[in-house]
Amino acid sequence: MATADQTQHPRLNGLLGTLPDSDLERLAEHLELVPLRLGDMLYEPNTQLQHAYFPTSAIVSLHYVTASGASAEISGVGNDGMVGISLFTGGNTTPSSAMVHTTGYAYRLERSQVKTEFNRHGQLQQILLRYTQALITQVSQTAACNRHHSVEQQLSRWLLLTLDRISSGEFVLTQELVANMLGVRRESVTAAAASLQSMGCISYRRGHISVTNRKMLEQCACECYAVVRKETQRLLGVN
């Protein structure tokens, strides 16, 4: 296991953190700590995945790009999850891609080791299956939210989910990046951010968003955030 940054212990990832000491110790020799930079592409559509990633401080966006070049996030993965579920579900590839949208660290595990550990039928297999169910809930709720709720509600949901995955209340984000995540026009994000700022939910300046009143932001969000959060807590026991 890499030791380049001692503050990034594997247990900072919620899935690895649930493992018994004996399981994590066995897995640790195969885990590699890697820095993930903004914009890094962990995998492209329909390509063979080589590693699974367990973020500790980075956040990865799973998104789909249409033939016209338009894109939208279908789910996000932070310290609550794993990138690369197709490695143990049997598909090996996926039509979506995975791009880093918040710089940080992750532990990666080579694909053959993922399969070996999963096929032990132990605690890791159980937690990965529960995580897959939680991820399906997030994808489904995102689709419903993007279809039925306002950009302001979508932005509130997205900010809250991102906030749950970082240690501070400030994001380094551009309007263009957020627009790509939500699959909406940049001008729509600008208007929604301005509205949330006027209500005192966030403070926004070029490239930075700070959540100043989480409770109010939750009130501005639709029910989709609560549905995803509740199901994740039920399945994975996160706080």
Domains and CATH numbers, the chain: 10-145 (2.60.120.10), 150-221 (1.10.10.10)
Longest pairwise C-alpha distance within the chain = 53
Residue 106, beta-bridge partner list = 34, 55
Name which of 148, 136, 153 is nearest 74 in CA terms.
136
Residue 62, beta-bridge partner list = 75, 98
What does the pLDDT look like over 130-148, one tens digit per residue?
999 999 999 999 999 988 9
Cα-Cα-Cα-Cα torsion 197, 65, 147, 188, nearest 10 degrees, comes to: 30
Distance CA 178, CA 145 (A): 15
Cα-Cα-Cα-Cα torsion 3, 4, 10, 13, nearest 10 degrees, comes to: 180
- The predicted model gives 77-90 an average pLDDT of 93
What does the pLDDT look like over 212-236, one tens digit per residue?
999 999 999 999 999 999 999 999 9
Residue 204, beta-bridge partner list = 209
Residues in the chain: 239
- Is residue 72's pLDDT more than 60? yes
Q: What's the one-letter identity of residue 82?
A: M
pTM of this structure: 0.91
Residue 43, beta-bridge partner list = 98
Residues with Cβ within 8 Å of 83's Cβ and at least 6 positions away in sequence, in order, are 42, 43, 52, 53, 54, 55, 60, 62, 77, 98, 106
Q: What is the mean pLDDT of the chain?
A: 90
Question: Does 72 or 223 have the greater pLDDT score?
Answer: 223
